Chain A
Amino acid sequence: SQQGEEDPQALSIQEGENATMNCSYKTSINNLQWYRQNSGRGLVHLILIRSNEREKHSGRLRVTLDTSKKSSSLLITASRAADTASYFCATDLSSSNTGKLIFGQGTTLQVKP
Chain B
Amino acid sequence: GAVVSQHPSRVICKSGTSVKIECRSLDFQATTMFWYRQFPKQSLMLMATSNEGSKATYEQGVEKDKFLINHASLTLSTLTVTSAHPEDSSFYICSATTGDQTEAFFGQGTRLTVV
Residues in chain A within 8 A of chain B (CB atoms): 2, 31, 33, 35, 40-45, 48, 50, 88, 92, 97-106, 108
* Least CB separation from B96: chain A residue: A99
| B13 to A: closest C-beta gap in Å | 18
Given known contacts A40-B91, A45-B1, A99-B97, A31 and B102 CB-to-CB distance under 8 angstroms: yes
- 10 pairs of A and B residues whose beta carbons are closest in the complex: A99-B97, A99-B104, A42-B108, A43-B106, A103-B44, A97-B102, A103-B43, A42-B109, A42-B106, A105-B43
Count of CB-CB pairs between chains A and B under 8 Å = 71
Q: How many residues of B contact A (CB 8 A)?
A: 29
Of the A-B pairs whose beta carbons lie under 8 Å apart in the complex, a sample of 24, sorted by A's number, is A40-B109, A40-B111, A41-B108, A41-B109, A42-B106, A42-B108, A43-B44, A45-B104, A45-B105, A45-B106, A88-B43, A92-B102, A97-B102, A98-B97, A99-B95, A99-B97, A99-B99, A99-B102, A102-B46, A103-B36, A103-B43, A103-B46, A105-B43, A106-B42
Add 7 more A-B contacts to A41-B108, A92-B102 (CB < 8 A).
A31-B102, A42-B93, A43-B106, A45-B105, A97-B102, A100-B46, A101-B95
Instruction: Judge whether B6 is part of the interface by a CB distance below 8 angstroms.
Output: yes
Residues in chain B within 8 A of chain A (CB atoms): 1, 6, 32, 34, 36, 41-46, 49, 91, 93, 95-97, 99-109, 111
Given known contacts A2-B43, A88-B43, A99 and B34 CB-to-CB distance under 8 angstroms: yes
* Least CB separation from B108: chain A residue: A42
